[in-house]
Amino acid sequence: MTRIDIAVPVFNEERVLETSIDRLRDHLEASFPFEWHIVIADNASTDRTAEIAERLAADDGRVTHLRLDRRGKGLAVRAAWERSSADVVVYTDVDLSTGLTGLLPLVAPLVSGHSDLAIGSRLSSGSSVARAPGREFVSMVYNFLLRIVFAVRFRDAQCGFKAARTDVVQRLLPAVEDDAWFFDAELLLLAEHNGLRVHEVPVDWVDDPDSRVDVRSTALSDLRGIGRMFWRFVRGRGDVDLGGHEREPLVEDFGRQTVTFALIGGVATLVSLAIFLVLRDPIGAVAANVVGFSTTVVGNSWANRRWTFRSRRDTGRWRRRLVTIGIFAVSLIGTSIAVNAVAGSLSSELTVLFVSWFVAAVVRFSLLRTLVRRTS
C-alpha cells in the first residue's frame, strides 16, 4: 500500500503542537486513503515542545519525534525527508494555516507518477487567502522576482505545504544548500532546472496571527538566496544526477516552439526598432542599429532558452552561447553594412533592418533548436 510521510517542522511550539497534531491525525483518519505517518521534526526547541512530541509519539505509533540539535526549518524538513522510506513525503507548517482539504490533491499527482513535486499555492486563482496586506505584498513581490529572474512556472515558492516523490527528492536534497527559509525556493528552482514537473494546488489559507517569522530578515535572506542561485546557474552548477528519474523531453514540439519564438522575437524587434528610431538622428543609422540590436540580444536569448526551448540544464550551454554570439556578431555586421549602404532613406533602412533581422531569427531558431535537441 502507498505510504505517505508527513513532516511537521517545529521550533518552540508548545502552545499549538498537540492541538495541531490532533487535528492533522483526525483529518488523516477520516478522509485520507493512504497509509500515513507523522514526523514531528523538532529543530532545537528550548521549551516543552520535545516533551509534548515524545508523549504524542508514545501514545500513537504513527507519530514519530525527530529531535535535531540545530535550528532551521529547511534543516528540519531535510532531515525528515532524507530518513523517509515512504513513497511520498510531505511537509506542512505546524500552525496548519493551509486547509487540510488540500492534502489529498497535493499527493495524488505524485502517487500516480504524473508529477515529481507538488506545492500549495496561495497565488493561484482558485485559492482563498486571508492574510495581512504587508505579508501579501512581500509574497507577491518575492514570487514575481523568482518568475522574472529564473522564468519559473510555479507561482508560490513560500507556502508551507509541499510534497514530493521520495525517490526523486532524495536525489535533489544533497544539492540544496540552504537550511532555513530559502530551502523551499532552492528546492523548486533545482527541480525545474533539472526538468522535473512541479504541480500546483490552490489552497485555503488563513494567516497565523501568532506567526513569529521576521519578515524583514527573511526577505533579505531570500534576496541573497536569489542572487546565489542566479550565480550558480550562470556558472553551470545546477544539474543534479537524478538517477534515471529524468523526464524524457517531447520528441517533437515544433508548433509551440515556433509560436513562442515568434512572440519573443516580435517583442524584441519592437524594442530594437523603438531604440533605432529614437537614436537614428542623434547618432546616425548605423550606430542606432548597433545599440538597438545589441540591447535586446541578451534578453531575447534568455527568454528563448527558458520559454521557447525550455532548456535549463547546463549540458551544452557553452555551445549554445557560442552559437548565439556568433549569430549576433554576423547579424550585427551584416545589418550595419546594409544600413550604411542605404543610409539617408528611412524606408530603405527599415526594410533592410526587418529583412536582416528576420533572416537572422530564422537561422538562430534552426541552429538553437538543433543544439537543444542534441543536448537534452
Q: Which three cell numbers stand for residue 376?
A: 537534452
Q: Is 112 exposed, middle or buried (0-12, 13-18, 19+ CB in 10 A)?
A: exposed
Q: Please tell me the total count of domains within the chain.
A: 2
Q: Is residue 11 part of a domain?
A: yes
pLDDT for residue 357: 82
* Phi, psi of 162, rounded to the nearest 5 degrees: -140, 155
How crowded is residue 232: how many other Cβ atoms within 10 Å of its Cβ? 17
CB 284 within 8 A of CB 340: no
Which of these, 219, 173, 225, 211, lies nearest to 194 by C-alpha position? Answer: 173
Q: Is residue 244 part of a domain?
A: no
Q: What CATH number is associated with residue 42?
A: 3.90.550.10
- 48/181 same-domain check: yes
Domain that holds residue 19: 3-234
Q: Which three cell numbers stand for residue 102?
A: 488540500
- 225/270 same-domain check: no
- 335/199 same-domain check: no
- 119/171 same-domain check: yes
Q: Which three cell numbers stand for residue 333?
A: 555586421
Q: What is the dihedral of CA 240, 242, 244, 247, to 10 degrees?
A: -80
pLDDT for residue 183: 97
pLDDT for residue 311: 66
Q: Is residue 176 part of a domain?
A: yes
- 285/215 same-domain check: no
Long-range pairs, 19-22, Cβ under 8 A, ≥24: 20/94, 20/95, 20/96, 21/56, 21/63
- 209/290 same-domain check: no
- 294/369 same-domain check: yes
Q: Is residue 327 part of a domain?
A: yes
- 16/88 same-domain check: yes
- 124/189 same-domain check: yes
- 18/135 same-domain check: yes
Q: Is residue 346 part of a domain?
A: yes
Q: Is residue 242 part of a domain?
A: no
pLDDT for residue 358: 86
pLDDT for residue 314: 66
Q: Note if 184 is an active site residue.
A: yes
pLDDT for residue 251: 63
Of the residues 184, 204, 241, 281, only one is catalytic, namely 184
Which of these, 210, 97, 100, lies nearest to 160 by C-alpha position? Answer: 97
Q: Is residue 243 part of a domain?
A: no
Q: Which residues of 185-209 are buried (b: 16+ CB within 10 A; e: fewer)?
A: bbbbbbbbbbbbbbbbbbbbbeebe
Rounded CA gap, 66 and 9, in Å?
9
Q: Is residue 249 part of a domain?
A: no
Quick: pLDDT tens for 49-60: 999 999 999 999
- 42/118 same-domain check: yes
pTM of the complete model: 0.83
Q: Which are the contacts of 35, defined by CB distance < 8 A and separation ≥ 6?
A: 1, 2, 3, 4
Domain end (from 201, 234, 267):
234
In the predicted model, residues of the chain with pLDDT beneath 70 are: 209-215, 249-252, 311-317, 372-376
